[in-house]
Amino acid sequence: MEILKLLENNPGFQERARQELEAEVLKKFIGQSKLEEIIDILNQIPSMALASKESPSGYANVQQNYENLKNEVKTLKNELHQSHAERQILENRKRDLLVQVQFYKDKYDTIENIFKVFDKLDDNVKSGLDGIFRDNSRDKFLMSCASLEKLELLWDFIYYTIENVSDNTEAINNLNIILDYFFDLFSYTNPVYERINTENNENFDSKLHIKIGSKKSGPIQEVKLRGIKNKYTQKILKKSVVQL
């Protein structure tokens, strides 16, 4: 009751109470409303203000509240823009990470597939590779052909298999797959060396090719094993093995 009497007898107190109540209602409205709703109300405020011009104090309050609300909306817009920018940064980072994950997954899958090719070789072929692949674990398998010397040993073994076990086509093809894989890995850190690019229907060249079979001349019918050369000096380390 004392508060009501105070309100009745103190216009200044009434005005402050009304302003604080308006401010609280405004905060609650901003907190619970969408940005579009706030903008819609802002568009209506000028006409509301015109209707309140008869009361100077009322008009001043409406105008002040209008300015406050505009500032609140501006702040909300800035925060929304910043939020969108931060989200875009996170989306870009996520995309980059997914690309990296896929890259390493592809690399691992390739290693796994090459190891499976090696693991499926028959025991007779594997026994001939003891000096190159000394362990059946994936980690040591990956490090087995990290040098040019080991690659040349693998090439020699494939050539021997072609010459002496020519009917084992599957083993020869799988050994070529393994050699191609390890040579590509080696060339990343040793770009001096490259494979000899030999194609079917090329003319036989004794400087570049070793022929197998009984045919003495004619174009190349099949490339059994590609050679190795120095990319810069063109020195031939291993000739390509071909069938005429």
- What's the pLDDT tens digit per position in 79-129? 777 777 778 887 888 887 777 777 666 666 778 888 888 888 888 888 888
pLDDT for 217 equals 75
* pLDDT tens digits, 167-185: 788 999 999 999 999 998 8
Are 50 and 62 spatial neighbours (Cβ–Cβ below 8 Å)?
A: no
| Encoded tokens for 238 | 């291993």
218, 223, 217, 214: which is closest to 241 by C-alpha?
223
DSSP state of 218: S
Give the lowest-confidence range in 9-23, 108-122, 182-196: 9-23
Are 242 and 230 spatial neighbours (Cβ–Cβ below 8 Å)?
A: no
Largest Cα–Cα separation, the chain: 125
pLDDT of residue 50 exceeding 60: no
Are 172 and 158 spatial neighbours (Cβ–Cβ below 8 Å)?
A: yes
| Encoded tokens for 8 | 């009745």
Domains of the chain, earliest start first: 33-87 (no CATH), 122-191 (no CATH), 194-244 (2.30.22.10)
User: Taking the alpha carbons of 155, 158, 159, 160 in that order, is the dihedral positive or negative?
Assistant: positive
CA distance linking residue 205 with residue 231, whole number of Å: 18
User: Taking the alpha carbons of 199, 204, 208, 210 in that order, is the dihedral positive or negative?
Assistant: positive
User: Which residue in this structure is represented by tokens 């060249």?
Assistant: 205
pLDDT for 176 equals 94
Residues 6+ apart with CB under 8 A from 238: 152, 155, 159, 196, 227, 228, 229
| Long-range contacts formed by 140-147: CB under 8 A, 24+ apart | 141/115, 142/111, 144/182, 145/182, 145/183, 145/185, 145/186, 146/185, 146/186, 147/186
| Mean pLDDT of the 123-142 span | 78
Q: Give percent of the chain above pLDDT 90.
A: 22
CA distance linking residue 113 with residue 177, whole number of Å: 10
